[in-house]
Chain A
Amino acid sequence: MIDGALLSMRGIDKRFAGIPALRQASLEVRPGEVHALIGQNGAGKSTLIKVLTGYHRRDAGEVTYLGRPLEANSPQQAQASGISTIYQEINLVPLRSVTENICLGREKRRFGLLDWRAMHQEAERLLSSFRVKLDVRRPLMDFSTATQQMVAIARAIGFSARLVIMDEPTSSLDEQEVGVLFDVIRQLKTNGVSVIFVSHKLDELYEVCDRVTIMRDGSTVCSANMTEITKLELVSQMLGRDVSKVAGHATAFSRSATDGEGDVVLVAESLAAGQAVRDVSFRLRRGEIASFAGLLGAGRTETARVVFGADRPRAGSMSLGARPFAPAHPRDAIDAGLGFVTEDRKMEGIVPDMSVAENMTLALLPRISRNGVVDEKRQREVVKRFIKELGIKCSGPAQKIRELSGGNQQKVLLARWLAMNPDVLILDEPTRGIDVGAKGEIQRLIRSLSDSGLTVLMISSELEEVVEGADRVFVLREGRTVAELSGEEITEERILAAMAQGHVAHHDQEAAQ
């Protein structure tokens, strides 16, 4: 342990149901510093933080805090020792008043009973230090997300914390609010409080952080002073890509044989939705695989949801074919010939206890039914055809889908949409959680589908998949398309540069405009 470290976590292991989430992870925070903790989705940041705050129990490793071993078995104990956490999804109680949300756990009392007046005053005082003024008696849910975030921070600070952990605190704030938050962080720093700052917005890190720890696949890969590490290095460490080396062919993808430009199928102009999508434009051409590349939180999935009608855009327009396209509901998008294989197979995709056949034809049922009765003959035909065409390994159409491997489950989902005969298929992380062999099969399948005229929009966090598979890449950064690359322009280096800096070396900037 370095002399004078406030917190030192070393050799932390954590397994969930046998699957390692943390492997020898480490983190060291000095007094009065703002320490950035970054990494891709699933890198283990949140797990590490929850181990620190006692929400999860570690399997191995040691934690030293203020020079002594820390054995926090619950968030209460962590809080009592001066570690406060502001979680990504605001973990307060919306139904209760602002005062209660700030003061619960360290109430002010008078004659043994709660002193509401003093508590209201305390809440107001804490909030006013961030220039927030509101009626603290009203329920938290009456206020905007940004305000709720401030309440969460006020709560953390009210516990006279030595260490405040902020898990993506800016993801729901606008620029001005972020400014206020950074003032608060600087204020904390001058008071000697340390902050662990988790964020995917690299610019922010340089603005407010002193040091950074980068995690990947459950391990800590590097710690550095912010002044000594470039954005490009940050991104390449996060993704585990060595910028100087060009990797060999790592996927089963091959570039499209027909390099010619197909007709434009889907156009999106300046889409904006929620906080995550600010200004996204792209054009998809028939029979190509287009890809959204970007860091977590860049707005890739959120954009796909808008295209699919799951979320409404607040600005911008789309057209499909030559006609304006404004789906109000996924049903509209499906009717217009779109399909969407979601990222989270288990939550949004499969119905585990249903059979392969049922899972495959769920979306198709209205089309193969007459008066509400499923035409079982047609259903059987469809199922048989796709099991054969996609090479789905199962004992038969009646097998429960939960018994299939991840790769075969994914194929069933692909079949579900292909059976609808779509023009455009959106694939969100199509190979996540699938073993290597099956990955290759899926990738070949995607390519052959696009060769036969299907337009594919693929979102992938695996850079080699994007580089080797896509005919066209749109790089998203903080909700904006910052680069469009096609053909030979698609290189790891360029994508990384666009992810990090928001622009590519040369003419690509114009393409993104």
Chain B
Amino acid sequence: MNRAQYARLVGTYGVLIALAALILFGWWRYDNFLSAFNVTTVVRYNAMFALIALGMCFVIMTGGIDLSVGSTAALGSVAAAMASHYGMAAGIGGGVGAGLLVGFVNGLLVTRANIMPFIATLSTLLAASGAALLLSKQTSVPISPTSGFMLVGHGMLWIIPVPAAIAIIAYLLGAILLNYTSTGRTVLAIGGGEDASRLMGLPVARVTFLVYLASGGLAGMAGVLLAALGFAGQPTEGVGWELFAIAAVVVGGTLLTGGSGSVLTTLAGVLLLGILFNVLNFENGKGWISLSAAWQSVVRGLFLLAVVLLQARLTRQHTRSA
């Protein structure tokens, strides 16, 4: 194996190694770290972020960005909570539908109106947030206690929490889409060179549109989970989620400029950042240190920076040796 291939491997799987190291560290240091309770809590909560990061991953692979996912999730949670009174399916449909609507608008703005993704999704971020407040009359919307909707958040499939199962299925489908369909490969080609892809005759506009649509839908589903987990639609939640998702995607080794990325390592990125949070909580519990939420945020920021710097170094070495 030559140096370039080695560097590429570390760039791709570095996040998996870091994740394994972090889990081992937690297992060695904290008694209840790998307890069923802790593990299910962590995966149940992070499933929302995983869904958002999956959509973000595809958007970023095309060279774009979707800033609207956080407020789309909030809107989705309100829509899901309101619809949950008509049954579990209606609740899910309502949340996902609201998300797809935002994604649809994003897709149109980016591919038809040719607005830069940053600006287009910034606008829908504000609009979706406003819509969530209007729908909910600026207060949290309780879900139906009887329709079984709460099971979407709190149910278990054998030993797997339902939200985690949903995320796992979404990631499997995402991985197949990316690696084994022409749409998936076109996503990467667009990010690697939009003009080149167009000249190669690839359906650039259609695939770009689909990517934003999917990102909206996944954010809507995250909203469904949010409502089910919190027993209410929460119009003011979701602030900053898009940044968490972007961070997870980048830590997962996906190039922010597009053209290269992986679904599996994005999931690892989500877990890495989520578990880091969990570890910091455990560390606080030990009583040696006491990190406030503010300090935890600082630590996570530094961690993200370290990972990205490492990746940049590796990528540079790789291009130089190529």
Binding site for B on A (CB under 8 A): 53, 55, 74-76, 78-80, 85, 87, 91-96, 100-101, 104-105, 107, 113-114, 116, 141-142, 155
Query: Chain A residue with minimal CB distance to B182?
Result: A107
Q: Which chain A residues border B192 with CB–CB below 8 Å?
A: 93-96
CB of B201 closer than 8 Å to a CB of A: yes
With contacts A107-B185, A113-B181, A114-B185 taken as known, whether A91 is within 8 angstroms of B193 at the C-beta atoms is yes
Contacting A at CB under 8 A, from B166-208, are: 176, 179-182, 185-186, 188-189, 191-193, 195-203
Chain B residues, Cβ within 8 Å of A75: 198-201
Cβ contact within 8 Å between A113 and B200: no
Contact of B200 (CB < 8 Å), options: A80, A91, A142: A91
Chain A residues with Cβ below 8 Å from B180 are 113-114, 116
In the complex, the answer to whether A155 meets B200 with C-beta atoms within 8 Å is: yes
- Contacts A74-B198, A92-B193, A104-B200 aside, 10 further interface pairs with beta carbons under 8 A come to A53-B199, A55-B199, A74-B201, A75-B200, A85-B199, A91-B196, A107-B182, A107-B185, A113-B180, A116-B180
**Closest 6 A-B residue pairs measured CB to CB?**
A93-B192, A113-B180, A95-B259, A95-B192, A76-B201, A79-B201
Knowing A96-B188, A114-B179, say if A104 contacts B202 (CB, 8 Å): yes
A93-B192, A104-B186 known; A76 vs B203 contact (CB < 8 Å): yes
Bound-state Cα–Cα, A95 to B197, Å:
12
Chain A residues with CB under 8 A of B189: 93, 96, 100, 104
| B296: interface (CB < 8 Å) | no
B239 to A: closest C-beta gap in Å: 33
Q: Smallest CB-CB separation from A89: which chain B residue?
A: B196
Report Cα–Cα, A79/B203, bound state, in Å: 12
CB distance from A168 to the nearest CB of B (A): 15
Q: Would A94 and B193 count as touching, CB distance under 8 A?
A: yes
20 A–B contacts, CB within 8 A, in A order = A74-B198, A75-B201, A91-B195, A91-B199, A91-B200, A92-B196, A92-B200, A93-B188, A93-B189, A94-B192, A94-B193, A100-B185, A104-B185, A104-B202, A107-B185, A113-B176, A114-B179, A114-B181, A114-B182, A142-B322
Which residues on B sit within 8 Å (CB–CB) of A78?
A: 201
In the complex, which residue of chain B has the Cβ closest to the Cβ of A80?
B201
Q: How far is the CA of A141 from the CA of B322 in the complex (A)?
A: 8
Question: Closest Cβ of chain B: how far from A145's Cβ, in Å?
Answer: 13
**Is B4's beta carbon under 8 Å from chain A?**
yes
Contact A142 B4 (CB under 8 A): yes
Q: Is the CB–CB distance between A95 and B188 below 8 Å?
A: yes
Interface string of B199-223 (1 = CB under 8 A from A): 1111100000000000000000000
Contact among A105, A113, A116 with B201 in the assembled complex (CB-CB below 8 Å): A105
Separation of A142 and B319 alpha carbons in the complex (Å): 8
Q: Is the CB of B260 closer than 8 A to any CB of chain A?
A: yes
Question: Once bound together, how far apart are the Cα atoms of A278 and B274, in whole Å?
Answer: 57
| A75 CA / B203 CA spacing, docked (Å) | 10
Inter-chain contact B199/A87, CB cutoff 8 Å:
yes
Smallest beta-carbon distance B37→chain A, Å: 39
A-chain residues with CB within 8 Å of residue B319 when the two chains form the complex: 141
Q: Name the distance in Å between A347's Cβ and chain B's nearest Cβ.
A: 17
Q: B-side interface residues toward A, CB under 8 Å?
A: 4, 176, 179-182, 185-186, 188-189, 191-193, 195-203, 255, 259-260, 319, 322
Find chain A residues with CB under 8 A from B181 CB: 113-114
Chain B contact residues: helix, strand, loop or mixed: helix
Docked CA distance A79–B181 (Å):
20
Residues from chain B with a CB closer than 8 A to the CB of A141 are 319, 322
Choice from B4, B259, B322 contacting A93 with Cβ under 8 Å: B259
How distant is A277 from chain B, measured CB to nearest CB, in Å?
A: 24
Q: How far is the CB of A207 from chain B (nearest CB, A)?
A: 27
Which of B185, B188, B201, B259 is packed against the most chain A CB atoms within 10 Å? B201
Chain A residue contacts of B196, Cβ below 8 A: 91-93
Q: What chain B residues lie within 8 Å of A104 (beta carbons)?
A: 182, 185-186, 189, 200, 202
* A93 and B193 form a contact (CB under 8 A): yes
A75 to B196, CA, bound (A): 11
Complex Cα–Cα for A262 and B200 (A): 55
- Residue numbers in B under 8 Å from A74 (CB-CB): 198, 201
Closest-by-CB residue of B relative to A50 is: B199
User: Of A87, A92, A101, which is in contact with the most chain B CB atoms at under 10 Å from its CB?
Assistant: A92
Complex: A107 Cα to B259 Cα, angstroms? 18
Question: Which one of A55, A79, A95 lies within 8 Å of B260 (CB-CB)?
Answer: A95
Inter-chain CA distance A53–B176, complex, in Å, is: 33
Residues of A within 8 A of B182 (CB): 104-105, 107, 114
Hey, which chain A residues are within 8 Å of B191, CB to CB? Answer: 95
B53 to chain A: closest CB distance in Å? 21
Across the interface, name the chain A residue whose C-beta is closest to B190: A93
A87–B191 CA distance with the chains assembled, in angstroms: 19
CB of A377, distance to nearest CB on chain B (Å):
43
Chain B residues whose C-beta falls within 8 Å of the C-beta of A93 in the assembled complex = 188-189, 192-193, 196-197, 200, 259
| A55 to B195 Cα, complex, angstroms | 11
> Closest chain A residue to B5 by CB distance?
A138
CA distance A53 to B189 in the complex (A): 20
Residue of B nearest to A114 (CB): B180
Residues of B within 8 Å of A76, CB to CB, are: 201-203
- B206 to chain A minimum Cβ distance, whole angstroms, is 10
For A105, give the chain B residue with the smallest CB separation: B201
**Assembled-state Cα–Cα distance A104/B180 (Å):** 12
A75→B182 CA distance, assembly (Å): 17
Closest chain B residue to A112 by CB distance? B181
- Are A105 and B200 in touch, CB under 8 angstroms? yes
Q: Using Cβ atoms and an 8 Å threshold, which residues of chain A touch B197?
A: 93
| Nearest chain B CB to A3 CB, angstrom units | 30
- A168 CA to B193 CA, complexed, in Å: 21
Query: How far apart are the CA atoms of A116 and B181 in the complex, in Å?
Result: 10
- Cα-based distance from A481 to B181 in the complex (angstroms): 53
CA distance A474 to B2 in the complex (A): 47
Give the chain B neighbours of A55 by CB distance below 8 A.
198-199
Q: How far is the CA of A85 from the CA of B198 in the complex (A)?
A: 12
- Cα–Cα, bound, A30→B69 (Å): 55
A155 to B199, CA, bound (A): 12
A54 nearest CB neighbor, chain B only: B201
Residues of B within 8 A of A91 (CB): 193, 195-196, 199-200
Residues of A within 8 A of B322 (CB): 141-142
Docked CA distance A85–B197 (Å):
13
B74 shortest CB reach to chain A, Å = 34
Q: Which residue of A has the minimal Cβ distance to B321? A: A142
B198: which A residues are within 8 A, CB to CB?
Answer: 55, 74-75
A345 CB → nearest B CB, Å: 24
Q: How far is the CA of A101 from the CA of B322 in the complex (A)?
A: 18
Across-interface contacts of A79 in B (CB, < 8 A): 201
CA–CA, A53 to B185, complex, Å? 23
In the complex, A107→B260 CA distance in Å? 19
In whole angstroms, what is the CA distance A142 to B321 when docked? 9
List, in ascending order, chain B residues with CB within 8 A of A113's CB.
176, 180-181
**A104 CB to closest chain B CB, in angstroms?**
6
Q: Inside 8 A of B203's CB, which chain A residues have their CB?
A: 76
- Chain B positions within 8 Å of A142 at CB level: 4, 322
Task: Report how far A75 CA is from B179 CA in the complex, Å.
Answer: 25
A74 to B255, CA, bound (A): 29
Give the Cβ gap from B176 to chain A, nearest Cβ, in Å.
7
